[in-house]
Amino acid sequence: MSFPEVRLRRLRQSRAVRDLVRETSLEPRQLVLPLFVREGLTKPVAIGSMPGVAQHSIDSLRAVAVDAAEAGVGGVMLFGVPAVRDARGSGADDPRGILNVATEALAAEVGDALVVQTDLCLDEFTDHGHCGVLAADGSVDNDATLERYASMALAQARAGSQLLGLSGMMDGQVAVIRAALDAEGFTDTLLLAYAAKYASAFYGPFREAVDSQLTGDRRTYQLDPGNRREGVREAVVDAEEGADIVMVKPAMAFLDVLREVRDTVNIPVWAYQVSGEYAMIEAASANGWIDRRAAVLESLLSIRRAGADAVLTYWATEAARWLRD
């Protein structure tokens, strides 16, 4: 060949060379496992829309959290499914509410091995399924919801949650919760702001996971999928309000937002590989249309490459084991 010797394939010639020059790493410590605990269960119940994922009893929850810790996973993010719901989501800040009771159990069991995290949102606890309380006209009342979030934050911190995942998309939630925690001495409790959380069709399977009561949608508080700048703006505002970490969610359909957020803020940025992303790869794998393990690892590596410092994924424990092998 006579052209100038630009041989890009030199860097791809062997596994050893490729391993040495790979730009992006994927490690167990960068993975966070979302977990569901349901009040009243004595054994786990499979979630049909998320094969391999279950709603847990307190005992089975402990076991999967220990398993995650042994695999080297960086954290678990806990969601609660209460037996009874009401308009204000009373179970959310009740110290005997399922999420707070389960948090206590997890903090005791694995709190030294990984970061025990809790979802802070009202949607699992309200009988209308919205992330906040409703005004008389049926709209989601931002400022009345903030009072509920502050109370929920204190209940979770008291239960031993080390990191609160603020997923409700109410304006001012980071500042209000930070102030409420600090006033009670919880200055070490970390805040993860679901800053750029889009109103996404990819949350579909999750609605079964938490027995969601929602009719309609969340478009008056979650972001429009067409808007990238607005997602970046949310992340900037949340960082200014005191978020320790910001998140982009979903992950795979919003990798451009993830990259731009990573380039804009100087705090950790996480991404949530949501239920629909999980379900798609599981369904294609079950049909033999895709190599499951390769597709899962590629999806996670790509989310890291786009800018995520850590990834919430339902494959966290399994992927951590693959990465260690």
What type of residue is 90? S
Q: Is 43 a catalytic residue?
A: no
Which residue of 93, 119, 141, 318 would you call a contact of ligand PBG, by CB under 6 A? 119
Q: Is 249 a catalytic residue?
A: yes
Using the minimum distance from each CB to ligand PBG, give the nearer residue, 21 or 87.
Answer: 87
Which residue of 57, 167, 173, 317 would you call a contact of ligand PBG, by CB under 6 A? 167
Sign, CA dihedral 205-211-216-222, equals negative
Stated as kind and residue range, the H or E segment containing 32 is strand 31-38
Which residue of 36, 149, 203, 315 would you call a contact of ligand PBG, by CB under 6 A? 203
The span from the CA of 74 to the CA of 31, in Å, is 6
CA-CA distances (angstroms) from residue 122 to 149, 170, 181, 262?
Answer: 8, 11, 18, 28
Using the minimum distance from each CB to ligand PBG, give the nearer residue, 33 or 274.
Answer: 274
Secondary structure of residue 163 in the 3-state scheme: strand
Using the minimum distance from each CB to ligand PBG, give the nearer residue, 156 or 275.
Answer: 275
Token pair, residue 313, equals 């994924």
296 binding ligand PBG? (CB under 6 A): no
Of 87-95, 115-123, 133-141, 257-265, the window that binds ligand PBG (rule: CB under 6 A) is 115-123
Question: 313: which DSSP letter?
Answer: -
Of 109-117, 118-126, 144-152, 255-263, the window that binds ligand PBG (rule: CB under 6 A) is 118-126
117 binding ligand PBG? (CB under 6 A): no
Residues near 24 by Cβ (< 8 Å), separated by ≥ 6? Answer: 301, 304, 305
Give min distance, CB of 216 to ligand PBG, in A: 11
The span from the CA of 298 to the CA of 321, in Å, is 15
Catalytic pick from 88, 148, 249, 304? 249
Of 117-125, 149-157, 225-233, 256-264, the window that binds ligand PBG (rule: CB under 6 A) is 117-125
123 binding ligand PBG? (CB under 6 A): yes
What type of residue is 134? L
Secondary structure of residue 109 in the 3-state scheme: helix
Binding site for ligand PBG (CB under 6 A): 119, 121, 123, 167, 203, 206, 218, 274-275
Catalytic residues, by residue number, are 197, 249
